[in-house]
Structure 1
């Protein structure tokens, strides 16, 4: 049987099993390169708006002083932890929905969506409750300075309930991404972000709430986003996928499939969150200005990460659909295409950040010490951008294949084995100073990403060989 016959048989199986008229599987199979941008571009647009918001939010908070920036920065790893757990299960939902649709099984795709939403309800209630009960202990563990603690606590007390709204929104967005619709969720996200941008200066400066105003703006915008998703799913019926709780049937196999991706992905997010707490605590050893610099530096490198994550998130959907349809050849073709485009992004952003970061950071603060530290950070980390791109995209492809453990093991390797160990040795044993933390982060990302790429191509080769043997 030749390659063309194999492709035709895969497409016939897909049609026979009932890929509906609104499913985009066959469209993506026909033109995978176009599909990459159809899935990724709306996400990039949404992330661009989110980046503008992050910049603007930090600029507004920066006008309140260095302590306000530090308070916001100390809240970042806790927010990352809360949302990260549900992003992990969201990736599991995206992968499961995409693979079921790729195999032409809409009924199980619908049921997978129902399971994912229930995950969102459970963790959306659990995480804020636990966070509110142990907020003081958490910030103490983070090493928050005494003068920053009141601001960090007041911000968290307002922002914590928003985790419930955002967790559910993540599940709805992940389901729509799994069916190949990234446009609708991004429109919803942009609406919430614009609302946040409008509310920020009003609540911070006009009403005079200060840092608490930024928290209230986020809370209101996250609730608005959730209401829009509920409207699209249960009133307008926008998605092709139709979760149904009246006729909900628990399916242990579907639960296991989501969990196989979702649990390792959530654990990866947990490891990264704990790692961020560790970095914050270590950076805090060098003072509040160092923490503030790490915060604004992180906002800038997020500009690079967001389009990279957009490309990677599209690969979860495409890999899942192509793998479910038995088209491993398209998986490899798309992987090569996306990795090359990712490198172009990495080098472009790296050059711009290295040259213009001193000017960019003046938007956030006029404090010369904070700017100098932030420039050191960004001019170190940009050298790892090309490698980070390889690692981020490789991890998402594994998830699209229904394999969650590689991403978890690679995250543990980066955060704990390489970056964490090196940072501890550099700072506490070799007394190399603050810059050595940035070096440890860059080295950890580089070593792990090279490992991830090698692992991915070995796995793709195994799947290709299996496909040949099954012909």
Structure 2
């Protein structure tokens, strides 16, 4: 594997850099998405439907702790990219050390709390009746592995900030592939039931952590920290927290969205409507992976060149990323428009679901070709360390537009109003993001590069 120094982010052609960064990120996102689907199929077939319910009870807890690691990773990586671009190596090292310390302290605190109050937390998340014991088994074992997952999520973003996307991709693939293989061994071969499912997940997290640790200890990483870098620096912590909060807020809004959608659709159309949304939700996760990959690949390029005050390269990275992501979005749009019914048949043979889902799916993906501008625009402000606009633009689609729309439109248009809320929110948030991004480019990036 070719070793790429972070200085390549400031020298290589933007189009070439973006492909190098985006392709591995896209593959990693795709593999992780497939893992969620296949893992659910394995557990449901080999243990039973109650196992799926038990895992769903535990997922919000484990995902929140993992999201914390991701938030610290993304927040710190923005600082690291800009510090490396500006030649401030010591600040990059201090930031990385603080990321590790912060992730360890917060995750261990949360895991300890989670274990102490286990008998209260599981029922609160729906683990009642026959589900409780299965959920408790899974919860206890997986919770021990979650700090490793949080460290992996944090470290993976730092690897990408160094300009090493292939290593980042491998780090994302390891827990996904490892979990599926261990599921087969522990559940199907050794008949360990819920304990097997839990240990498969936990060991896969540990394997990923081992790989990430190896990367930073090897010559592949430029970030060689000492013990003094682990000591907290309040200014660094504030910057990590302000930028990382954007990611945490996004996760919170996504959870609220799912909660609202499930309740509204159940009232309008019962279980069938909820199933329609479940299928569309899966497609949103899978179909948009190349667009999300471009967004992930864009972050370190924009952050590094912004830190180096190479305004022309920053402008070019924005334009190129939007062009690539819009093109991929157009391909996704075409696929959904022409093959929506075929896609639905992969999930179910229920005639009602097959009849209702294609139309709903087409509405949900109607604005896909333009969402790249919204994603790249909000990602840009996060990459350059502007937490407030990053926070507001990230939440604009779901928080400011979609949630109010999904509460209002169904009152006038019924179930179709739910699906209309998606493209309307996409269009409005894209217009707002486009305005602020264009304003930033005109006011900040019009200056000539500093030599």
- TM-score > 0.5, shorter chain as reference: yes
**Cα drift, residue 342 of structure 1:** 0.6
1:392-442 Cα distance to aligned partner (Å, 9 max, x none): 121111111111222321243332332112222244x44713x43333233
Structure 1 partner of 2:76? 93
Aligned length: 447
Q: Which residue does the alignment assign to 2:157?
A: 174
Q: Which of 454, 457, 463 matches 2:435?
A: 454
Q: Which of 217, 223, 226 lines up with 1:241 in the alignment? A: 223
Partner of residue 106 from structure 2, selected from 104, 123, 131 = 123
Task: Give, in whole Å, the separation in 2 of the partners of 1:252 and 1:462.
Answer: 30
Partner of 1:383: 366
1:130-141 superposed matches below 5 A: 130=113
8 Å Cα contact 1:81/1:273 also seen in 2: no
Kindly state the Cα deviation for residue 300 of structure 1 after the two structures are TM-superposed.
2.1
Q: Shift of the alpha carbon at 1:319?
A: 0.9
Equivalence for 1:37: 19
Residue 132 of structure 1 and its aligned partner are, at CA, apart by 5.5
Equivalence map 1:311-326=2 (5 Å): 311-326=294-309
**Aligned positions of 1:137-286 closer than 5 A:** 156=139, 158-208=141-191, 213-234=196-217, 236-246=218-228, 248-285=230-267
Shift of 1:293: 4.2
- Could you tell me whether the CA contact under 8 Å between 1:69 and 1:295 is conserved in 2? no
Q: Secondary structure at the match of 1:241?
A: coil
Unaligned stretches of 5+ residues in structure 2: none
Evaluate the alpha carbon distance shift between residue 238 and residue 61 of structure 1 in structure 2; reply closer, same or farther with a 3 A threshold. Answer: same
8 Å contact kept, 2:250–2:394: yes
- Structure 2 CA distance for aligned equivalents of residues 179 and 336 of structure 1: 22
Contact 1:143 1:284 in 2 (8 A): no
1:333 and 2:316 matched: yes
For 2:135 and 2:352, the matched residues in 1 are separated by 22
Match of 1:418 in 2: 401
1:409 corresponds to: 392
User: Could you tell me which of 10, 30, 50 is aligned with 1:48?
Assistant: 30
TM-score by length of 2: 0.85
State the Cα distance separating 1:222 from its structure 2 match: 1.3
Deviations 1:157-211 (A, max 9, x none): 5544443221111111121111111111222322222212212344444445667
Aligned partner of residue 273 in structure 1, secondary structure: helix
How big is the alpha-carbon RMSD for the aligned residues of Structure 1 and Structure 2? 3.4
Deviation at 1:368, TM superposition (A): 4.5
3-state SS of the aligned residue for 1:383?
A: coil
C-alpha change, 1:38 and 1:28, in structure 2 (3 Å) is: farther
Aligned-partner Cα distance in 2 for 1:72–1:137 = 17
Cα distance, 1:316 vs structure 2:
1.4
Residue 130 of structure 1 and its aligned partner are, at CA, apart by 4.8
Larger mean CA deviation between 127-136 and 402-411 belongs to 127-136
Q: Aligned match of 2:337 in 330, 336, 354?
A: 354
